[in-house]
Amino acid sequence: MPQDDQSPGQGLAQAAPPASPPYVPPQPLTLRINGKEHTLNIEPRVTLLDALREVLQLTGTKKGCDRGQCGACTVLVDGQRINACLTLAMMHDGREITTIEGLAQEGEPHPMQQAFMDCDGFQCGYCTPGQICSAVALLDEVKQHQASALTDGEQLEPGALSDAEIRERMSGNLCRCGAYPNIVKAIRSVVLRQA
């Protein structure tokens, strides 16, 4: 059998090296976080999560999957819960952002934070900030009669929130430790106090 004298890759088109992205200079930005304004000068492709953690040192918001699948980075923007890893900081100029650090008032934990402590709604605690922010938003969504996959919002009363409804509305927040029963118990305890 004759030997092929060509070395591997010879005769094949060589791929061009990837082009580097165009340089975009840092841009001015004002983020209103936990009631305080922060004026920043950041690169436009920085996520809200990285701006919070790396620039402002608000490390309560956690980086889990960095793909919007685990909910560890959940924060509130104008009262709505979002995954901070999936949005750019520049998109939130001037909007009201609340992180886990901003839920406590006058040194007292938010009722949801207290409920998570009282009901052991965490184990390792890594997902807990996102769980709590999501639970706070859940209560507001129910008050506003927002629908879920289980119920038509108009049929739902805050005091009548079932465990299945809580689980459905918290399904975007994962807990690798499996503390779900106590997370539901913590949310239920706040629901009952507010009813």
Question: Could you confirm whether domain 111-194 is CATH 1.10.150.120?
Answer: yes
Residue spans of the domains in the chain: they are 27-102, 111-194
Pick from 139, 126, 150, 133: which is nearest to 190 by CA? 139
Angle, nearest 10°, between helix axes 128-143 and 180-194? 40
Q: Do 27-102 and 111-194 agree at the fold level?
A: no
The structure tokens 């909007």 sit at: 95
Which residue type does 104 have? A
pLDDT in the model for residue 22? 79
Beta bridge partners of 30: 39
Residues 39-95 have pLDDT tens digits of 999 999 999 999 999 999 999 999 999 999 999 999 999 999 999 999 999 999 999
CATH T-level fold of 27-102: Ubiquitin-like (UB roll) (3.10.20)
Q: Is the pLDDT of residue 150 over 90?
A: no
